[in-house]
Structure 1
Amino acid sequence: MDFVSVIMGSKSDYEIMRHCLQALESFSIPYEVLISSAHRSPDRTKDYIKQAESKGAKVFICAAGMAAHLAGAVCAQTTKPVIGVPLSGGVLDGLDALLSTVQMPGGMPVACMAVGKAGALNAAYMAVQILAIGDKDLAEKLLADRAAKVVQIEQDSKSIEVRLPNRG
């Protein structure tokens, strides 16, 4: 069974990453969630990646703060797409995590999302887009989701619009 693997560097990351999981659920995408640290449990991380690939993981989403080496550590162990979600924390409030996630050496790509909740949501959507390449039904769900966002924006606007009368 194809699924998305979501790895967090620590339990405190769950509060933000639950938005990612909810988005995956909204598209009926199966996922696994694991806490594993690039620094504190590197062997666990390495072993899990191989296990996940053998079970059908097609995309890895990695969330970490501060040094944020998790996505890079996962990328070093797989050729599957890796999506990094930098999280805020520490004195640089996420900038350190962003730079650590985005500054991968050539030939070792990690797709880097925004810091925090928007990044968590976008990681899920990026995973859906990757999976939708070979899945027509999922691609149609993604298009329907986009259309619903257009309608929502129009409804939100109408609820607060103030317009000057036309002078003609």
Structure 2
Amino acid sequence: MKVAIVMGSKSDYPVVEKAEKILTQFGVQIETRIISAHRTPRVAEDFASHAEERGIEVIIAAAGKAAHLGGVMAAFTAIPVIGLPIKSSTMDGLDSLLSIVQMPKGIPVATVAIDGAENAGLLAVQMLSIKYPELREQMKQYKTKMEEEIIALDRQFQIEK
């Protein structure tokens, strides 16, 4: 079980780190790289073209502003790509979101919320759980724990009032 996380810039890492934490929690191997769709396009092509050979089963592509990294990755591989739009100083990340979500026909990129790294990690786990049933069980436990935490908070809130 291996997920690659590629980010367009080192400045994206504080967001990306949250996806790493989720993936680690589920026992998924991670390969994290800085690859720019615009400044290192040959590296991006090589990385995506050979990802499957290196055992990568899902790619999370984090990028801000023009945010073409996910689309470039998806153009060169058949494995699933999850776009993670990063909030930049321009347009509060809306530019990133629209760049990722508006992929042309034939180049799908699943997309999560702006700075939604936790959901990118969880979506990668759910994709992997198709092949790895133990991940599906862990995901069920994760959701049950979330539910229990909210129920406990609700009870606490009712007592405090």
Q: TM-score range by the shorter chain?
A: over 0.9
User: Which residue of 2 is the match for residue 158 of structure 1?
Assistant: 155
Q: Which amino acid aligns with 2:81?
A: V
User: Which residue of 2 is the match for residue 136 of structure 1?
Assistant: 133
For residues 105-127 of structure 1, the C-alpha deviation after alignment (integer angstroms, 9 at most, x for no partner) is 112100010001xx211111111
Structure 2: give runs of 5+ residues left out of the alignment.
Answer: none
Point out the structure with max Rg over C-alpha.
1
For residues 27-54 of structure 1, the C-alpha deviation after alignment (integer angstroms, 9 at most, x for no partner) is 0001100000000111111112233221
User: Which residue of 2 is the match for residue 122 of structure 1?
Assistant: 119
Cα distance in structure 2, aligned partners of 1:156 and 1:36? 41
The sequence identity of aligned pairs, in percent, is 41
SS of residue matched to 1:93: helix
Cα distance in structure 1, aligned partners of 2:104 and 2:11? 28
Give the CA deviation at 1:16.
0.7
CA contact (8 A) 2:48 2:74 kept: no
Structure 1: give runs of 5+ residues left out of the alignment.
Answer: none
Q: Indicate how the Cα distance of structure 1 residues 107 and 151 shifts in structure 2: closer, same or farther if over 3 A, else same.
A: same
Q: Which runs of 4+ in 1 moved over 3 A?
A: none
Give the CA deviation at 1:101.
0.3
User: Which residue of 1 is the match for residue 79 of structure 2?
Assistant: 80
**TM-score, normalized by length of structure 1?**
0.92
Q: Which amino acid aligns with 2:121?
A: A
Cα distance in structure 2, aligned partners of 1:3 and 1:90? 32
SS of residue matched to 1:48: helix
**TM-score, normalized by length of structure 2?**
0.95
Q: Which amino acid aligns with 1:107?
A: G
